[in-house]
């Protein structure tokens, strides 16, 4: 069972800078839950709908990001039948999500000599 991260405590002022360096190198990268509401909360209990609201999921196919924590994991487990959950390294902004969903233009520009230039979506 996870009981928290153990970090050395400084014995002197000189040890404090060493402790900070060790903590920075040992501390894990923060993970995030990517949570998408797949099915509607209609017909669920008031408590389950309250959990969806607490997670920030009010509409179908809405995606939210929450830091990985026991509290968030517990809320996810209460409504796991309605959600799609994955773990990511960093949350995406709305602009990044929108940019990622843009389809390819469907054409390319051919330069002299047979070189193709892909057209970036703007």
pLDDT, tens only, 2-54: 555 555 555 554 555 544 444 445 556 789 999 999 999 999 999 999 999 99
Long-range own/partner contacts, residues 22-26 (CB < 8 A, 24 or more apart): none
pTM given for the model: 0.62
Give all domains of the chain, ordered by start, each with its CATH number: 29-92 (3.30.1390.20)
Please state, in angstroms and rounded to a whole number, the distance separating the CA atoms of residues 2 and 112: 62
């Amino acid at each position: 069972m996870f009981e928290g991260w153990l970090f050395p405590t400084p014995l002197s002022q000189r040890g404090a800078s060493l402790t900070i360096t060790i903590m920075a190198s040992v501390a894990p990268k923060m993970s995030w839950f990517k949570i998408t509401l797949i099915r509607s909360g209609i017909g669920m209990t008031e408590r389950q709908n309250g959990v969806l609201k607490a997670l920030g999921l009010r509409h179908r196919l809405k995606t939210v990001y929450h830091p990985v924590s026991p509290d968030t994991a517990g809320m996810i487990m209460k409504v796991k039948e309605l959600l799609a959950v994955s773990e990511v390294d960093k949350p995406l902004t709305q602009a990044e999500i929108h940019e990622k969903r843009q389809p390819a233009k469907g054409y390319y520009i051919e330069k002299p000599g047979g070189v193709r230039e892909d057209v970036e979506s703007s």
